[in-house]
Structure 1
Amino acid sequence: MSDYSGSSEPKGISVFGLSGRTALVTGAGSGVGAAVAEAFAAAGAAVLVTDINKDAAAQVSQRITAAGGTAEPFALDVCDADNARDAVAAAAQLGSGTLNILVNNAGVIAPAMFPKMDEAKFRRVLDTHLMGSYHCSHAALDVLPEDGTGRIINVTSAAGLTGTIGQANYGAAKAAIIGLTKSLARELARQSVTVNAVAPLAATAMTENIRSNEKLAAKTLARIPLGRWAYPDEIAPTFVFLASDAAAYITGQILPVDGGTVI
């Protein structure tokens, strides 16, 4: 006999909705971050669109509100702990004191072969990806709800899963985010907060240096079973899923959305 005492009533498509929830997305002024912010708003969430470039965040926010959604822009340098706390507070105000969903997406690249990679390049990438995720996640602890709707969704990469050439700093940062994700998932489960990570591969400014190099682009496409790059709006629905009730029993997982690159 099963000891399951939960409801067996089907919830249908509503489990993918985000109405009444508040989200903060970092690095949301372009690329995957912008697509995620717009997808969250389309699913019903109020979104704080943050980016180090406030004008870019404002443009995304304007697109959301023009489409009937709820969004506000916020200038955020995730390397600044005080700035991160202010952003979380602003997002919580959109949700009457609660932040349901945090997406740690902000990132930079500083490619170089390891013998030519100086400490400044290495630290810049680690500080933005890893310490940025730390600052925002730590700041969010006091406002994430314990009712099962709390979500932290980090962004990693195939580089963190398999390594990469010419970006040891990026690979190290993304691998560290995987460890952070799994550790936080174990810790925050007691507050009914789930923590997962997405490893996307999309045509964005972050991958422009690869896509614009004929030789590198050909090698990369050869490793993608689906044989093409994704558009950012093909990546965004995965974040909506992980933020929704449909993923309430998923935590500590790394989900590649990369056309089969990591199998």
Structure 2
Amino acid sequence: MAVPLSSAALSRVVARLRAAGCVFAEDEAELLVSAAGDEAGLEGLIRLRVEGLPLEQVVGWAEFRGLRVEVDPGVFVPRRRSEFLVDEAVVLARPGAVVVDLCCGSGALGVALAEAVSGVELHAADVEPTAVRCAWRNVGRVGGRVYEGDLYGALPGVLRGRVEILLANVPYVPSGAVCSLPTEARLYEPKVALDGGVDGLEVLRRVSGEASGWLVPGGHLLVEVSERQADRALEVFSGDGLVARSVGSEEWGSCVVVGSRPLLRNGARSVLCGS
């Protein structure tokens, strides 16, 4: 229940947020007021936000593809640009598809896909215990399961060769560029969810290298990268035997690379899309 505030009191909240560098101070003030149970609670939320904690971690949720996804402190905050990756996956996924969300964080990508495609069998995994606990609350509400561990090592063996859609929101920021990320990310999100190694593609290579063993013939791996990394990511996917393509969105400022396990058909290699 929102805390009742006078217009003058609300203006003071906005001023404090703006002074702390919050660009959308008015919108944030409204969310903080809505999330607080009382004035003391509101003061606590404001203090956390002013100290730099991401807004989503302060209020406990993020909006993602029209859904309210729970986000705990210390968990990677789902970016709105990643909605484009889900949009691409929705086109490829059939009703009842087996879906895996690797590096799941809060589980936002997998949950959004499960909400958009009927009957999805969702499995999610992350190496961070805090993320796994958070993801259980989100993934569980769509009937999915969450596992803790390093990439494919977290998944039950029964999923080998059964995965139709593999979402992997891998970290892709080069190690040398992590220090230039916004303070919110550097201080309050796990480094393992941000740092992609020297060129930003180290985790992507690991995911791509084992993808064919987990995908069904005609199954798809989707990852997000920066536009400047796309060509190299395509080479990695192709080198691992995947039929690779990239697609970008100016609206979202997002670049997605899709790798499909070839399907043998009359002796020729082809890709089964969305069937």
- Quickly name the TM-score band, shorter chain normalised: 0.3 to 0.5
Structure showing the higher strand proportion among its residues: 2
Instruction: Name the larger-Rg structure.
Output: 2
**What TM-score does the superposition give when structure 1 sets the normalisation length?**
0.45
Q: TM-score, normalised by structure 2?
A: 0.44
Q: Return the structure number with greater relative CO, CA threshold 8 A, min gap 6.
A: 1
Structure that is richer in helix per residue: 1
